[in-house]
């Protein structure tokens, strides 16, 4: 279940449920779920030369892209977001 507004520009709202296809790798620019410091987060993921960039999608809130060293053991890719469910 999503907690927060960091991905609202992608249509993922606070309280939504995301459907995740499990995978340990992800194509650049895809929306995925990663574990970081024992907390799951939904972000657009970019695997770069020696780091992973986690990019939010909420222009109004001004979230900054977070960069994590690729060798940092605190981060683990869980999978790619394939859908979103919302209560009506």
Q: Is 43 a catalytic site residue?
A: yes
Among 8-17, 63-72, 77-86, the least confident range:
63-72
The answer to whether 79 and 34 are in contact (CB under 8 A) is no
Catalytic residue among 24, 43, 56, 69: 43
Give CATH superfamily name and number for 8-85: Umud Fragment, subunit A (2.10.109.10)
Catalytic residue among 6, 24, 27, 69: 6
The answer to whether 24 and 77 are in contact (CB under 8 A) is yes
The answer to whether residue 71 scores a pLDDT higher than 90 is: no
pTM, full prediction: 0.90
pLDDT digits (tens, 9 = 90+) for 13-62: 999 999 999 999 999 999 999 999 889 999 999 998 889 999 999 999 98
- The tokens for 39 are 């907390």
pLDDT score of 74: 86
């Amino acid at each position: 279940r999503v907690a927060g507004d960091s991905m609202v520009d992608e249509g993922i709202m606070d309280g939504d449920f995301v459907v995740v296809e499990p995978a340990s790798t992800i194509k650049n620019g895809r929306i995925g779920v990663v574990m970081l410091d024992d907390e799951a987060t939904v972000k657009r993921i970019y695997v770069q030369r020696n780091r992973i960039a986690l990019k939010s999608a909420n222009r109004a809130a001004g979230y900054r892209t977070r960069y994590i060293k690729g060798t940092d053991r605190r981060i683990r890719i869980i999978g790619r977001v394939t859908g979103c469910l919302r209560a009506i």
